[in-house]
Structure 1
Amino acid sequence: MASYHVRSNSLPSRPHPVIPEFDEQLYRLRASDASSSSASTSTRCKLNGLGDLLECVERLLSLPNNQKALSQEQHEKQVDQILDGSLRLLDACNIAKDALLQTKESTQELQSIIRRKRGGNIELSSEVKKFLTSRKVVKKAIHKAIEQLKGIANNTFNKDNETIAIVSMLREVQGITLAIFESLLSFISGAKARSKLGGWSFISNIMFHNRVGEESQLNDFAKVDVALNILVSPKMKKSDSLAVENAQNQLANLELCIQDLEEGVESLFRRLIKTRVSLLNILNH
């Protein structure tokens, strides 16, 4: 990937104030993993940070020198690649929005069913299986989206000897946006925890023996998957109130997590559209 620190004569000899700000926002995003206390916090911080970075991009695109450079015919292919990448990222953002909405609706429905049945001989197997089936659909869509995201790098981030500075910066932004979207989609699917959820021993240790080190490996989505798999396990008694209570708590936590993420994803979606429109306007001016 071309470095944004190598600038051409297309930019002013004295950098515009937004350029150091751009560099700082990019640095913060790359360092965000080390400073976050949880996967949920890290994901939301990345979404917020990416929004701030895209705001810097908007200001960069408003500079006359950058507009002139991007509109030159010899840079048309590079800009087209960036536009194609932005469209694919918008598609990924839409998939994340749909996945969050679908999971939230399933979460709220299951919570309501558990509340209505609480206090009696609870039989939740069919409702829980319905939720887990919905999760499988979400994970399948996410897996497909992640595979498509991997193709963006091959098409967009080819190195060019004559890349102008603003194109390098836009490529930097798409590169880190790609990484954040892949992280977001993996977070929603609980992908990092899947290989560790296979055995009943692991599940029971987390939920009934409070092994904090193992539980901390799971995000809110994966914790719900675990808790609900307990309820439909052949080894689980139908009337086990502890398992039901744990599932209810995990569902409540997940709903709060989703609401938090939805706000960040929606804000990011609007900024991505704005950036794409600005690029199109420059080309059509």
Structure 2
Amino acid sequence: MAAFNPKFYHQYRLRSVSLPTTLHPSTVKIEQIVNKLKTFETSSSFSSSFSRADHLSNSLVGLKELYQAIEELLALQITKQALSQHQDNPRVKALVEESVTFIDVCNNSRDTVMQMIQGVRGLRSSFRRNKLGELSIESDISEFNFSRKGLRKEISRSLAKLKSTDNNRGIHLHLFNRSEDHQILTAVKALTEASLLTISTLSSLLLFLSVPVMKSKQSKWSLVSKLMQKGAFAGDQGQRNKLNELENVDIALGDLLIHSSCKENDAGKDKIESAQRKLEALETVLENLENILESLFRHLIRARVSLLNIFSH
């Protein structure tokens, strides 16, 4: 994952969109959703490179709404005619090709989330069965972390696909002749805005899922150092509030490992209960992300099918 700079994916600052609104209300809806997503993205500030789940959920829901509006735009006869007449344009072709990447990455992201949910549930079950100080807890935490490391490889591949898609885009509206039908400009600009926001949003999601995993077998002093860097012992609730759900789980698990030699007592029970609460919160947000991704996946497929149907006639 070292090859990816998290800041890169938060640098999409699109020009203010102004689509023609005289043809159909869908163009107005697209403009409103795009500007809402851009405003939300630029106004959101995080001390961590890894967004919180609530931010991601809002962005993904907005993206789903954007593709719903695009489906309405693509259903218009005038849009179909405009795109059909320009289907050999390399910029239009590229938009169709990008849809394959987005469907693939969305599907892989959903699979990753589902696997993480299973890992969280397994760890929660282990904590209910065992006590602090038992080797099985350390073993289960190690297994959970090992599983996450494996998922990071698939996440890395998905991030590379999105980065390659953006680098190879070659779609710029100023390359279109100003005398061309404004309906093709409307359609291509809407699809281009959607593509840019899809790249940005899915990249943020993947970065959230790729939070670096603490090594279970490192020394306790090393664990303490890492936890201090994350603000675990700072007593600064404001700093802790800036961490996302995965980072909070890492802190709770790291704290458990530091005290793994302790016998079962009130302090040990508190550590277990704290980890359980963090895992429960993570499971809840992951389940929410899974549901949103499932819905977004369907809309991405519908948008691609609409484009293919237009070009097949």
Scaled by the length of structure 1, what TM-score is found? 0.86
Q: 1:264 and 2:292 equivalent?
A: yes
Post-superposition shift, 1:78? 2.3
Alignment of 1:188-203 (within 5 A): 188-190=209-211, 200-201=224-225, 203=227
Where in structure 2 are there 5+ consecutive unaligned residues? Answer: 1-13, 178-183, 215-221
Question: What is the match of residue 125 of structure 1?
Answer: 138
1:7-66 deviation digits (Å, cap 9, x = unpaired): 6xxxxx933222111100101111224379982221111111111111110111011121
What is the DSSP-based 3-state SS (H/G/I as helix, E as strand, rest coil) of the residue aligned with 1:158? coil
Q: 1:17 and 2:25 equivalent?
A: yes
Alignment of 1:70-219 (within 5 A): 70-73=83-86, 75-118=88-131, 121-123=133-135, 124-159=137-172, 161-162=175-176, 164-165=184-185, 166-190=187-211, 200-201=224-225, 203=227, 206-207=231-232, 210-219=235-244
Whether the 8 Å CA contact 2:141–2:253 is kept in 1: the answer is yes
Distance of 2:30 and 2:143 partners within structure 1: 46
RMSD: 2.9
Could you tell me which of 30, 36, 44 is aligned with 2:57?
A: 44
Q: 1:26 and 2:34 equivalent?
A: yes
Where in structure 1 are there 5+ consecutive unaligned residues? Answer: 8-12
Question: What is the match of residue 10 of structure 2?
Answer: none
Question: What is the match of residue 10 of structure 1?
Answer: none
Q: 1:255 and 2:283 equivalent?
A: yes
1:134-170 deviation digits (Å, cap 9, x = unpaired): 1111122212211220111122243252274111221
Pick closer, same or farther for the CA change 1:249–1:207 going to 2, 3 Å: farther
Provide the identity percentage.
31
Pick closer, same or farther for the CA change 1:74–1:85 going to 2, 3 Å: closer
1:174-225 deviation digits (Å, cap 9, x = unpaired): 111110000111112226x9xxxx7624525844564212212211112112
Post-superposition shift, 1:121? 4.7
Distance of 2:92 and 2:171 partners within structure 1: 12
Distance of 1:42 and 1:2 partners within structure 2: 22
Pick closer, same or farther for the CA change 1:75–1:5 going to 2, 3 Å: farther
Q: 1:56 and 2:72 equivalent?
A: no
Post-superposition shift, 1:282? 0.4
Whether the 8 Å CA contact 1:221–1:254 is kept in 2: the answer is yes
What is the DSSP-based 3-state SS (H/G/I as helix, E as strand, rest coil) of the residue aligned with 2:243? coil
Pairs aligned (count) = 275
Amino acid at match of 1:31: T
Amino acid at match of 1:97: R
Distance of 1:248 and 1:183 partners within structure 2: 26
Distance of 1:236 and 1:201 partners within structure 2: 17
Amino acid at match of 1:80: K
Post-superposition shift, 1:229? 2.8
Question: What is the match of residue 67 of structure 1?
Answer: 80
Question: What is the match of residue 261 of structure 2?
Answer: 237
Distance of 1:128 and 1:22 partners within structure 2: 45
What is the DSSP-based 3-state SS (H/G/I as helix, E as strand, rest coil) of the residue aligned with 2:168? helix
Identify the range of structure 1 (236-245 vs 83-92) with the bigger mean alpha-carbon deviation.
236-245
Distance of 2:23 and 2:88 partners within structure 1: 22
1:252-277 deviation digits (Å, cap 9, x = unpaired): 11111111111111100000001000
Scaled by the length of structure 2, what TM-score is found? 0.79
Whether the 8 Å CA contact 1:190–1:219 is kept in 2: the answer is no
Distance of 1:145 and 1:221 partners within structure 2: 19
Identify the range of structure 1 (262-271 vs 140-149) with the bigger mean alpha-carbon deviation.
140-149
What is the DSSP-based 3-state SS (H/G/I as helix, E as strand, rest coil) of the residue aligned with 1:156? coil
